[in-house]
Structure 1
Amino acid sequence: MNLFSEIRALVTGSLEAMMAAGDLPAGLDLAAVTVEPPRDTAHGDMATNAAMVLARPAARKPREIAEALALRLCEDSRIASAEVAGPGFLNMRLAPGVWQGLVRAVLEAGAEYGRSTLGAGVKVNVEFVSANPTGPMHVGHTRGAVVGDALSNLLDFAGYDVTREYYINDGGAQVDVLARSAYERYREAHGLSPEIAEGLYPGEYLIAVGEALKAEFGDRFLDQPESVWLEVIRDFATARMMEMIRADLAALGVRMDVYSSEKALYGTGRIESAIDRLAAQGLIYDGVLEPPKGKTPEDWEPREQTLFRSTAHGDDVDRPIRKSDGGWTYFAPDIAYHHDKIERGFDQLIDIFGADHGGYVKRMKAAVAALSNARVPLEIKLIQLVKLYKDGEPFKMSKRAGTFVTLRDVVEMVGPDVTRFVMLTRKNDVALDFDFARVLEQSRDNPVWYVQYAHARVHSVLRKAEAAGIAVDDAALAAADLGALDHPAELALIAKLAEWPRLVETAAQAHEPHRVAGYLSELAAEFHGLWNRGNDDPALRFVQEDDFATSQAKIALTRATAVVISAGLAILGVTPVEEMR
């Protein structure tokens, strides 16, 4: 049940009736007509912009349209009143029975309340994390993992066919560095002093890899030239790092549907095939690029390169796809990888990258536009940094120095649920402060605690009611007489529940899962506010002594609140709690 969609259908139906009656010109486009919560709830329950957007094409004054529309809307029993405001906005108040019926609808739908068919089965590929397989994931990867997983959950709930994908960057120079670093730990496992030269990975996580190499290969590679062991140790170490990464993701509650390998693109003709597709469109040529900005002629040597004409699809400059030695640039396999996604039949692509990939956005979008003939849109979401605080002081991390804070460190300190919720309290392109003390405090200022506390409070009410002999299963609550829910504070909470289906759709369309966390915080505030009013006004308490019928109505509202909180937390990947300890 999407109450906003229902009332919008009522508005558009009334407008169509006005056109049929000659009160408005025939054939007006109603696509821009919206029904939304008003900015100020004192003005009403819902507001429509119908008169404002139709005034010009109808050649009528907005207030004239709004007044005529208000008369028609009030003929419907769901509309208690409709008032024109300002130049022509129309504010509507719904009849109490509409709100009471919504509580019943939530209980009947259960976890499916708010689920949408908006996506209509459109196939979406969400690629996220894709950390280099050179070590455990750090806290920056954590935020990208949470955003990608929650976005996938959100799109699935909104009716899209979602595939979660991890692209293993195992074809570049960084995995050779990994192999050389692991080799030094292999030597260490044999009692030799490791030579961790500058540029190698010094992290202690490779000690276990060195021990595993010794167990697997004995002393076979000791004192052997790099040409003998590099490929073998590279593959072995990469596999061990991916095992670690998969375990880290599992600890965070993230699962991937597909793992794709960059290395698997080489020597298979898949890179060549993608480049040939671009060449067939006249987008591959040999040329010389202008010097980069900030370079002087003395700093830069022009040379002919094989280039992708990415400027034909919105990029700032054309991009090299071959290096001077004839090998592919790092961009070439990425082109092939996205070509593979298109060939697999995805209708939309979403890539979630770290903030340091900002310069990569336009070239990748240009490649996808060219490869798909502009059929498949690509959105790239950049994840801004997470600033860690420990004991009130900024906590530094450095992956290369081996002193970074890992994903596992964060999860073990505060748990996966807290980690996930906090990572979604800000939009992905805004830096996030993560204070290890604050995220665990039990106060209203901690959104994850505040939302979980609301869910736990509902279950405390259910336990109290059951102890009093009141039936609190969803079927019994849905069948209760909900007419007792008529206090403004109760109706305000129901109105917030009514926003959930609309929030799901708007958040899914915007690809912004953080909106779910924000909504849950608002819903929890409405619930706690009603709870606190009951401390002063016994008539608002959820369990009414010796009045089971009224109690059931009020408990139905609390249970409906828990249903929506649970559904929202499921999208965020957070487990709701029934008791706070």
Structure 2
Amino acid sequence: MNLFNELRTLVLGALDALVAEGALPAGLDFASVAVEPPRDAAHGDMATNAAMVLAKPAGAKPRDLAEALVVKLAADPRVLAAEVAGPGFINLRLAPGVWQDLVRAALQAGDGFGRSTMGQGQRVNVEFVSANPTGPMHVGHVRGAVFGDALARLLAFAGHEVTREYYINDGGAQVDVLARSAYERYREAHGLSPEIREGLYPGDYLIPVGEALKQEFGDSLLERPEADWLETVRDFATDRMMALIREDLAALGVHMDVWFSEKSLYGTGRIEAALEALRAKGLIYHGTLEPPKGKTPEDWEPREQTLFRSTAHGDDVDRPVQKSDGSWTYFAPDIAYHYDKITRGFDALIDVFGADHGGYVKRMKAAVSALSDGRVPLDIKLMQLVKLWKNGEPFKMSKRAGTFVTLRDVVDQVGPDVTRFVMLTRKNDMTLDFDFDKVLEQSKDNPVFYVQYAHARVRSVMRKAAEAGVAVDDAALAGADLARLDHEAEIALARKIAEWPRLVETAARSNEPHRVAFYLYELASDFHGLWNRGNDTPGLRFVQEDDPAASQAKIALARAVAVVISAGLGILGVTPVEEMR
């Protein structure tokens, strides 16, 4: 039950009636007509911009059109009052029965409350994390993993068919560095001193890989030239690192549908096929580039390369795809990978990148636009840095990793649920402070605790009521006399619950799962506020000991809050708690 959509349908019906009466011209585009919460709750329950956006194309004054609309809207029994505000906005106040019915609808829908068909089954590919398979995942990967998984859950909740995908960067020079680093640990396993020279990976996590290499190959790789062992060790070490990455993601509750190997693009004709698709559109040519910004022509040696005319699709400059020596640039396999996703039939693509990939956004969007003839949109979300704090100081690096704090460091400290929620308490393009002490505090300032506490409180009051003989299953609560919910504070909480279906669609349209975390905190705050008011006003307490009917109605409201919190936490990948310990 999306109350905002229902009221928008009411507004559109009123507009159609005005067209039928000749008060409005036919053929108006109603796409921009919206029904939203008013900026100031004192102005009403909902507001519509219908008169403001239609007045000019209709050749009418906004306020005149608004007054005509108000007459139509006020005739609906759900509308208690319709008022024109300012130059032509319309504020609506709804009858209490609307909010009472909303609570009932939430209970009847259960986990399905707020689910949307907005996505219409469109196939969306969400590629995220995609860390180099050279070591354990670090804290920056945690944020991308949580964001990507929560976004996939959100889109599925909003009616999309979602594929989670990990792009294994196993085709570049970094996996050769991994092989050389692992080989030194293999030598170490044989009692030799490892030579962890500059440029190699120093972390202790490669010691077990060296031991495994010894168990698999004995001493057969010792004293052999690099050319003899590089490929073997590279494949072995990469497989071990990917197993470690899978375990790390599983510890965070993240599971991929597709693991795509960059290496599978090389030597298979797939890169050539993607570039040929662009060549057929006249977008591949041989040429030289202008000097990059900051370099003078004297500092720049122009070389003829194979270029993609990405400027034809919104990029700032054309991009090289093949070097003058015939080797591919890093961009070429990325083009081929996205071409593969397009040919798999996805309707939309989403890439979740680290903040250091900002310069890659325009060229990648240009490639997808060109390859799909503009049919498949690509949204790229950049994840800003995470700053870790403990005891008021920056959290120290992990010795095991060698150079960074690992995903396991974070999860082992606070658990997956806290980790996931906190990683979504800021928009992805904002730096996030993760304070190990504060995220475990039991206070209003800790959003994880505050939301979980609200859910636990609901479960507690339901247990108490059940012990007193009040039926608190969802069917019984949905059948309660919800007209007993007549206090303004109770209606205000029902209004907040009503925002949930709209919030789901808004967050899904913008690919912003952090909106769910923000909303859950606001809902929890409103619930706790009503709970605390009950301390001073006994009639607002959820359990009315001498009035089972009133108890059922009030517990129905609390249970509706829990339904929404449970669904929202599910999108975030967080398990709701039954009681606080």
TM-score, normalised to structure 2, is: 0.99
SS at match of 1:506: helix
| Counterpart AA for 1:450 | Y
Partner of 1:64: 64
Partner of 1:550: 550
Partner of 1:561: 561
Deviation of 1:298 after TM superposition, in Å, equals: 4.1
Of 383-392 and 64-73, more deviation after overlay is shown by: 64-73
Q: Distance in 1 between matches of 2:339 and 2:400?
A: 32
Partner of 1:40: 40
SS at match of 1:198: coil
Change (3 A) 1:435 1:330: same
What are the within-5 Å matches in structure 2 for residues 181-330 of structure 1?
Answer: 181-330=181-330
Q: Distance in 1 between matches of 2:56 and 2:298?
A: 60
- Contact 2:183 2:210 (8 Å CA) reproduced: yes
Deviation of 1:24 after TM superposition, in Å, equals: 2.2
Of 398-407 and 19-28, more deviation after overlay is shown by: 398-407
Deviation of 1:400 after TM superposition, in Å, equals: 12
Q: Distance in 2 between matches of 1:269 and 1:28?
A: 51
What are the within-5 Å matches in structure 2 for residues 407-422 of structure 1?
Answer: 407-422=407-422
SS at match of 2:91: strand
Deviation of 1:534 after TM superposition, in Å, equals: 0.3
Partner of 1:99: 99
Deviation of 1:326 after TM superposition, in Å, equals: 1.4
Deviation of 1:394 after TM superposition, in Å, equals: 2.2
| Counterpart AA for 2:439 | V
- Contact 1:78 1:98 (8 Å CA) reproduced: yes
- Contact 1:100 1:485 (8 Å CA) reproduced: yes
Change (3 A) 1:376 1:521: same
Deviation of 1:390 after TM superposition, in Å, equals: 1.8
Partner of 1:511: 511
Q: Distance in 2 between matches of 1:410 and 1:400?
A: 13
SS at match of 2:322: coil
Deviation of 1:401 after TM superposition, in Å, equals: 7.9
Q: Distance in 2 between matches of 1:444 and 1:464?
A: 24
| Counterpart AA for 1:375 | R
Q: Distance in 1 between matches of 2:414 and 2:342?
A: 39
1:497 aligns with 2:497: yes
SS at match of 1:534: helix
Partner of 2:152: 152
Q: Distance in 2 between matches of 1:325 and 1:22?
A: 71
Of 154-163 and 282-291, more deviation after overlay is shown by: 282-291
Of 267-276 and 166-175, more deviation after overlay is shown by: 267-276
What are the within-5 Å matches in structure 2 for residues 525-540 of structure 1?
Answer: 525-540=525-540
Q: Distance in 2 between matches of 1:399 and 1:332?
A: 36
1:459 aligns with 2:459: yes
| Counterpart AA for 2:428 | N
SS at match of 2:469: coil
Deviation of 1:304 after TM superposition, in Å, equals: 1.2
1:338 aligns with 2:335: no
Deviation of 1:149 after TM superposition, in Å, equals: 0.4
> Any idea what the Cα deviations from partners look like across 1:91-138, whole Å, max 9, x if unmatched?
111111111001110000000000000000111000000000000000
Q: Distance in 2 between matches of 1:72 and 1:530?
A: 35
SS at match of 1:293: coil
Q: Distance in 2 between matches of 1:376 and 1:401?
A: 39
> Any idea what the Cα deviations from partners look like across 1:493-523, whole Å, max 9, x if unmatched?
0000000000000100000000000000110
| Counterpart AA for 1:463 | R
- Contact 2:203 2:402 (8 Å CA) reproduced: yes
| Counterpart AA for 1:516 | V
Change (3 A) 1:324 1:398: farther
Change (3 A) 1:463 1:503: same
- Contact 2:184 2:194 (8 Å CA) reproduced: yes
Q: What is the aligned residue count? A: 581
Deviation of 1:68 after TM superposition, in Å, equals: 1.7
SS at match of 1:31: coil
- Contact 1:202 1:400 (8 Å CA) reproduced: no
> Any idea what the Cα deviations from partners look like across 1:388-429, whole Å, max 9, x if unmatched?
112111236599981311011100101101100000011101
Q: Distance in 1 between matches of 2:283 and 2:62?
A: 51
Q: Distance in 2 between matches of 1:100 and 1:323?
A: 67
- Contact 2:543 2:551 (8 Å CA) reproduced: yes
Q: Distance in 2 between matches of 1:432 and 1:92?
A: 38
Q: Distance in 1 between matches of 2:225 and 2:27?
A: 79
Partner of 1:53: 53
| Counterpart AA for 2:248 | D
Partner of 2:113: 113
Deviation of 1:25 after TM superposition, in Å, equals: 2.4
SS at match of 2:352: strand
- Contact 2:204 2:400 (8 Å CA) reproduced: no
1:174 aligns with 2:174: yes
Deviation of 1:66 after TM superposition, in Å, equals: 1.4
Deviation of 1:26 after TM superposition, in Å, equals: 2.6
Partner of 2:6: 6
1:352 aligns with 2:352: yes
| Counterpart AA for 1:437 | D
Change (3 A) 1:454 1:131: same
| Structure 1 residue runs without a partner (length 5+) | none
Deviation of 1:250 after TM superposition, in Å, equals: 0.2
> Any idea what the Cα deviations from partners look like across 1:300-325, whole Å, max 9, x if unmatched?
22211111111111111111111233
SS at match of 2:195: coil
Q: Distance in 2 between matches of 1:368 and 1:96?
A: 50
1:87 aligns with 2:101: no
- Contact 1:542 1:555 (8 Å CA) reproduced: yes
Q: Distance in 2 between matches of 1:558 and 1:478?
A: 12
- Contact 1:201 1:400 (8 Å CA) reproduced: no
- Contact 2:204 2:399 (8 Å CA) reproduced: no
What are the within-5 Å matches in structure 2 for residues 370-409 of structure 1?
Answer: 370-395=370-395, 397=397, 402-409=402-409
- Contact 1:265 1:337 (8 Å CA) reproduced: yes
Q: Distance in 1 between matches of 2:233 and 2:137?
A: 21
Of 320-329 and 375-384, more deviation after overlay is shown by: 320-329
Q: Distance in 2 between matches of 1:236 and 1:323?
A: 30
Change (3 A) 1:338 1:398: farther
Deviation of 1:74 after TM superposition, in Å, equals: 1.3
Q: Distance in 1 between matches of 2:60 and 2:325?
A: 69
SS at match of 1:321: strand
> Any idea what the Cα deviations from partners look like across 1:329-368, whole Å, max 9, x if unmatched?
1111111100000110001000000000011111111111
